[in-house]
Structure 1
């Protein structure tokens, strides 16, 4: 199929228009900016960029604080945002496409906390659990009557609070939490409870009703997945 034929498959009007794409600036190693050059980096950044190139759609991609990312999408200031969890609430709010990858959400603690593992959320009730303000984790956990500390603005701060002994347990993506633990050379100070909270698929989100763009992105994502391109990117960041 020729390049021109491929363009005919994209709804006219989406071809030349630049998509504004936003992601979380403090979600390393999935999306982050470095102080030296302010360039978006990370696994999810590379995944999204690969899909946009495959779809042959012009775009600009910038990273912001997560709460601002959500507001920008709600106000239609951006075309698309990433990386959302696929909760029922999020599925009602947005057109979700993906998943672009799946991460394991876990509980991390230190030797100062007696808990060995957990079977039900009630097992966590004696402890103060740290989570990032504005994040959704898993439906039952999000609704559970637990003692929470939501003062952390980002996962790096959450890890620092755990290491400082300010909270008992933190919740988050396994790869990400360990990235920040290694950053502080504190691997020997933490432990991850064996039972995961959930295997959490991550999605890109479009405004509700924006089906044409969502379908265009989904088709390009599927082509890259089938070609093995996504697996190659995943392995680079493991």
Structure 2
């Protein structure tokens, strides 16, 4: 009934207000999405800001603990959730727009550590590495049978792992590149010194995931605006902001 009404409205050249409204559920996951006071910040939120400017869509964002965000999205047809990694298990649960990052899980090193050359996961066990406790990287490595005595997971936060890498307490740090760059910036360290040493697992990509019952016209407007950002190169420019070290970092 709702879709029929939308088609009729489109044929008359008008779009009903409900076709412009979306709820967007997210979590605190810097630098992809996070809040400062009442402001939504980060890579994914910059993309949403540009899509709103292009389309006139009304998107009400809410930051919640991740499990609550998933439940809210499932209970609201006209909603999306972000940042969500696309996996085979999730494929039919969402309509996907993206990716805006590859979300590869990698070992990272400092560029001056030219002595570290990895050709396999096993090679990494020769070095002492760090990863945030409970993070995907630590869980994936454990599932691969990695020698966990060679991986420090004592810290609940990735920023401490990055600090230990720069202090040469760790040879490697496991995780995703963009969050590592963000942590280095927060510590006022030279983020340009970070470089991937080995890909632990290719990511499924970071996406916006829509409830499958979302209004199709609204979904298509969002998707087309995202594609426009991609084809014009603006998406790549936004992403590079989170990979390029700031001029104020210490050298």
Identify whether the pair has TM-score above 0.5, normalized to the shorter chain.
Answer: yes
Corresponding residue for residue 247 of structure 2:
none
Q: 1:55-88 CA distances to partner (integer Å, 9 max, x unpaired)?
A: 3221112334444433433444981111222222
Corresponding residue for residue 249 of structure 2:
none
Unaligned runs of 5+ residues in structure 2 are 1-8, 245-251
User: Within 5 Å, which residues of 2 pair with 1:105-116?
Assistant: 105-108=105-108, 116=116
Closer/same/farther in 2, CA of residues 216 and 77 from structure 1, 3 Å limit = closer
Closer/same/farther in 2, CA of residues 121 and 97 from structure 1, 3 Å limit = same
Corresponding residue for residue 206 of structure 2:
202
Corresponding residue for residue 177 of structure 2:
174
Normalized against structure 2, the TM-score is what?
0.66
Normalized against structure 1, the TM-score is what?
0.68
Larger displacement relative to structure 2 (207-216 or 159-168): 159-168
Corresponding residue for residue 23 of structure 2:
20
Question: Larger radius of gyration, structure 1 or 2?
Answer: 2
Distance in 2 (CA, whole Å) between partners of 1:168 and 1:228 is 35
Q: 1:178-236 CA distances to partner (integer Å, 9 max, x unpaired)?
A: 22123224549x86452334366321012245472543421221233334432443354
Q: Contact conserved, 2:19 with 2:215, CA < 8 A, in 1?
A: no
Corresponding residue for residue 4 of structure 1:
none
Distance in 2 (CA, whole Å) between partners of 1:55 and 1:90 is 28
Corresponding residue for residue 59 of structure 2:
59
Unaligned runs of 5+ residues in structure 1 are 1-6
Q: Secondary structure at the match of 1:61?
A: strand
Distance in 1 (CA, whole Å) between partners of 2:106 and 2:144 is 16
Structure 1 position 133 matched with structure 2 position 134: yes
Q: Secondary structure at the match of 1:15?
A: helix
Corresponding residue for residue 3 of structure 1:
none
Closer/same/farther in 2, CA of residues 19 and 154 from structure 1, 3 Å limit = farther
Q: 1:108-130 CA distances to partner (integer Å, 9 max, x unpaired)?
A: 358xx9x8233222334566652
| Count of residue pairs the alignment pairs up | 226
Q: Contact conserved, 1:132 with 1:158, CA < 8 A, in 2?
A: no
User: Within 5 Å, which residues of 2 pair with 1:44-83?
Assistant: 44-76=44-76, 79-83=79-83
Distance in 1 (CA, whole Å) between partners of 2:199 and 2:167 is 24
User: Within 5 Å, which residues of 2 pair with 1:73-152?
Assistant: 73-76=73-76, 79-102=79-102, 105-108=105-108, 116-125=116-125, 130-131=131-132, 133=134, 135=136, 143-146=143-146, 147=148
- Alpha-carbon RMSD: 4.3
Distance in 2 (CA, whole Å) between partners of 1:226 and 1:166 is 42
Q: Contact conserved, 1:116 with 1:193, CA < 8 A, in 2?
A: no
Distance in 2 (CA, whole Å) between partners of 1:65 and 1:164 is 32
* Deviation of 1:177 (Å): 0.4
Larger displacement relative to structure 2 (48-57 or 210-219): 210-219
